[in-house]
């Protein structure tokens, strides 16, 4: 079974990319359409200009970046845009909860951060729009053959 998975490495990496992108996209939707959105994550009820700007960045990064990851378009850039969001989630938002808390937010955010680093490193995979568009064009035969 392990040899079979090893032979399907591209499929596994693409499945991971699609799953990660879809999850981030839906997380962006949840941030936009829940009543408190990002304020609930940050633990503050005081709306401010900085919080509004941060929530726009986070929601946009998750929505657009997640969609791009899911289809494999500008994959490394889409993952790179997510890194500050997840880095902030790990270090600023969930760090005080510590490991093995009841909601496991630190562990999950750290996992997503790690997976995004893998996507940044290894790219989009064989079954992505990036791979489809970077394939060399079919050579055109010179001269006419009648």
**Which pLDDT tens digit goes with each residue over 61-88?**
999 999 999 999 999 999 999 999 999 8
Does residue 146 sit within a domain?
A: no
Does residue 125 sit within a domain?
A: yes
Residue 65: name the closest of 16, 121, 21, 111 by CA: 21
Residue 14: name the closest of 72, 55, 58 by CA: 72
What CA–CA distance (Å, rounded) separates 74 from 72?
Answer: 7
List pLDDT tens digits, range 117-132.
999 998 888 888 887 8
| CB count in 10 Å sphere of residue 48 | 10
Q: How confident is the model at residue 32 (pLDDT cuts 50, 70, 90)?
A: confident
Per-residue model confidence (pLDDT) at position 78: 95
Per-residue model confidence (pLDDT) at position 136: 63
Does residue 138 sit within a domain?
A: no
Number of domains, the chain: 1
Does residue 145 sit within a domain?
A: no
Does residue 124 sit within a domain?
A: yes
Tokens (6 digits) for 146: 């009648």
Does residue 141 sit within a domain?
A: no
DSSP 50-63: HHHHHHHHHHHIII
Does residue 113 sit within a domain?
A: yes
Per-residue model confidence (pLDDT) at position 127: 82
Does residue 64 sit within a domain?
A: yes
Tokens (6 digits) for 111: 């996992």
Domain that holds residue 61: 2-41+49-131
103 backbone dihedrals φ, ψ, rounded to 5° = -90, -10
Half-sphere exposure of 109 (CA within 13 A, CB side): 24
């Amino acid at each position: 079974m392990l040899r079979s998975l090893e032979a399907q490495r591209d499929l596994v990496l693409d499945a991971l990319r699609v799953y990660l992108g879809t999850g981030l996209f839906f997380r962006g939707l949840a941030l936009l359409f829940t009543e408190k959105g990002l304020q609930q994550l940050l633990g503050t009820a005081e709306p401010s200009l900085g919080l509004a700007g941060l929530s726009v960045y986070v929601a946009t990064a998750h929505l657009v970046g997640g969609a791009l990851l899911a289809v494999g378009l500008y994959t490394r850039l889409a993952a790179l845009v997510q890194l500050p969001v997840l880095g902030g989630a790990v270090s600023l938002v969930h760090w005080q909860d510590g490991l093995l808390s009841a909601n496991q937010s630190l562990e999950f955010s750290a996992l997503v951060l790690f997976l995004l680093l893998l996507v940044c490193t290894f790219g989009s995979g064989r079954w992505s729009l990036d791979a489809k568009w970077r394939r060399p064009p079919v050579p055109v035969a010179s001269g006419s053959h009648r």
